Structure 1
Amino acid sequence: MKIISTGQDAMAGPMVPTPSVRWALAGLSLSMLLSSLGTSVANVALPTLAEAFTASFQQVQWIVLAYLLAITTVIVSVGRLGDLIGRRRLLLGGILLFTAASVLCGLAPTLWSLIAARAAQGLGAAIMMALTMAFVGETVPKARTGSAMGLLGTMSAVGTALGPSLGGALIAGPGWRAIFLVNAPLGVLALFLAHRHLPVDRQRPRTDRAAFDRVGTLLLALTLAAYALAMTLGHGRFGSLNVGLLVAAAVGVGLFVRTESRAASPLIRLTMFRDPALSVSLAMSTLVSTVMMATLVVGPFYLARALGLHEALVGLVLSVGPLVAALTGVPAGRIADRFGAHRMTVLGLAAMTAGSLILSLTPAGLGIAGHLVPIVVITAGYAVFQTANNTAVMTDVPPDRRGVISGMLNLSRNLGLITGASVMGAVFALAAATNDITTAAPDAVATGMRITFAVAAALIVVALVIAVGGRGLARRNSPAEDPVS
Structure 2
Amino acid sequence: MKPVSAGRAGAAAPAASTERTSSVGWALAGLSLSMLLSSLGTSIANVALPTLAQAFTASFQQVQWIVLAYLLAITTVIVSVGRLGDLIGRRRLLLAGILLFTAASVLCGLAPSLWLLITARAAQGLGAAVMMALTMAFIGGTVPKERTGSAMGLLGTMSAVGTALGPSLGGALISGPGWRTIFLVNAPLGLVAFLLAHRHLPADRRGPGAGGAGFDRVGTLLLALTLAAYALAMTLGRGSFGPLNAALLSAAVLGVVLFVRAEARAASPLIRPATFRDPVLSASLATSALVSTVMMATLVVGPFYLSRTLGLEEALAGLVLSAGPLVAALTGVPAGRVVDRFGARRTTLAGLLAIAAGAFALSMTPESLGVPGYLGPIVVVTAGYAVFQTANNTAVMADVGPDRRGVVSGMLNLSRNLGLITGASVMGAVFALALATTDVTTAGPGAVATGMRITFAVAGVLIVLALTLATGSRALARKRAGLPR
Indicate conservation of the 8 Å contact 1:24/1:197, yes or no.
yes
Cα offset, 1:480, TM superposition: 5.4
> Shift of residue 474 of structure 1?
1.2
Is 1:195 the counterpart of 2:192? The answer is no
* Offset at residue 202 of structure 1 (A): 1.0
Determine the C-alpha separation between the residues in 2 that align with 1:300 and 1:341: 33
SS state at 1:18 partner: helix
Q: Sequence identity, in percent?
A: 79
CA contact (8 A) 2:207 2:403 kept: no
Structure 1 position 171 matched with structure 2 position 174: yes
Report the equivalent of 1:37: 40
**Structure 2 stretches of 5 or more lacking a match?**
1-11
- Asked whether 1:459 is paired with 2:462, we answer yes
Alpha-carbon contact 1:325-1:382 (below 8 Å) kept: yes
Structure of greater Rg: 2
- CA deviation profile, 1:172-195 (whole Å, cap 9, x unmatched): 110111100000000000000000
1:151 is aligned to 154
With 123-132 and 361-370 compared, the bigger mean Cα shift is at 361-370
Structure 2 counterpart of 1:327, one-letter code: L
Q: Does structure 2 conserve the Cα–Cα contact (< 8 Å) formed by 1:278 and 1:393?
A: yes
Identify the residue that residue 211 of structure 1 maps to in structure 2.
214
Describe the shift of the 1:161–1:6 C-alpha distance in structure 2 as closer, same or farther (beyond 3 A): farther
Q: Deviations over 1:381-420 (max 9, x none)?
A: 0000000000000012100000000000000000000000
Cα distance, 1:96–1:266 mapped onto 2, change above 3 Å:
same
1:259 pairs, out of 247, 259, 262, with 262
SS of 2:363's partner is helix
Instruction: Give the counterpart letter for 1:240 in structure 2.
Output: P
From 57, 67, 71, give the equivalent of 1:68: 71
Query: Paired residue for 2:356, among 353, 356, 376?
Result: 353
The alignment partner of 1:266 has SS state of coil
The amino acid across from 1:214 in the alignment is R
Is the 1:143–1:337 Cα contact (8 Å) retained in structure 2? yes
Match of residue 229 from structure 1? 232
Residue 351 of structure 2 corresponds to residue 313 of structure 1: no
Matched, 1:430 2:417: no
Q: How much has 1:142 moved relative to structure 2?
A: 1.2
- The residue aligned with 2:8 is none
Task: Measure the CA separation in 1 of the matches of 2:399 and 2:210.
Answer: 26
Letter of the 1:393 partner, please give it: V
Offset at 1:365? Answer: 1.7
Structure 2 letter corresponding to 1:326: A
1:371 paired to 2:374: yes
Q: 1:112 corresponds to which letter in structure 2?
A: W
Q: Indicate the residue corresponding to 2:3 in structure 1.
A: none
In 1, the alpha carbon distance for the partners of 2:232 and 2:375 equals 32
- Is the Cα–Cα contact under 8 Å of residues 210 and 403 in structure 2 kept in the other structure? no
Instruction: Report the TM-score when normalising by structure 2.
Output: 0.95
Aligned to 1:12: none
Q: 1:270 aligns with which of 269, 273, 277?
A: 273
Paired position in structure 1 for 2:118: 115
Cα distance in 1 for residues equivalent to 2:329 and 2:209:
43
- Runs of 4 or more above 6 Å deviation: none
TM (norm. structure 1) is 0.95
Cα 1:348–1:443 shift into 2, 3 Å? same
> May I ask how many residue pairs the two structures share in their alignment?
471
Query: Where does 1:325-340 land on structure 2 (aligned, <5 Å)?
Result: 325-340=328-343
More deviation, 269-278/471-480: 471-480
* 2:432/2:451 contact within 8 Å kept: yes
Matched letter for residue 219 of structure 1: L
The whole-number CA distance in structure 2 between the counterparts of 1:33 and 1:444 is 38
- Matched AA of 1:459: L
Q: 1:315 aligns to what SS in structure 2?
A: helix
Assess if the C-alpha contact under 8 Å between 1:276 and 1:470 holds in 2: yes
Q: 1:246 aligns to what?
A: 249
- The amino acid that maps onto 1:19 is S
Q: Name the residue aligned to 1:342.
A: 345
What is the deviation of 1:439?
Answer: 2.3
**1:228-261 Cα deviation digits (max 9, x unpaired):** 0000011111011111001000000000000000
Amino acid in structure 1 at the alignment position of 2:301: V
**AA partner of residue 302 (structure 1):** Y
Question: Which residue of 2 is the match for residue 161 of structure 1?
Answer: 164
Deviations 1:24-77 (A, max 9, x none): 000000000000000000011111111111111111111100000000000000
Separation of aligned partners in 2, 1:207 and 1:450: 52
SS at match of 1:208: coil
Gaps of 5+ in 1: 8-14
Partner of residue 447 from structure 2, selected from 439, 444, 448:
444
- 8 Å contact 1:79–1:403 — kept in the other structure? yes
Q: d(CA) in 1 for partners of 2:380 and 2:342?
A: 20
Question: 2: CA distance between counterparts of 1:6 and 1:343?
Answer: 36
**C-alpha RMSD over aligned residues:** 1.7
Tell me how far 1:207 sits from its aligned partner. 7.8
Distance in 2 of aligned mates of 1:297 and 1:201: 42
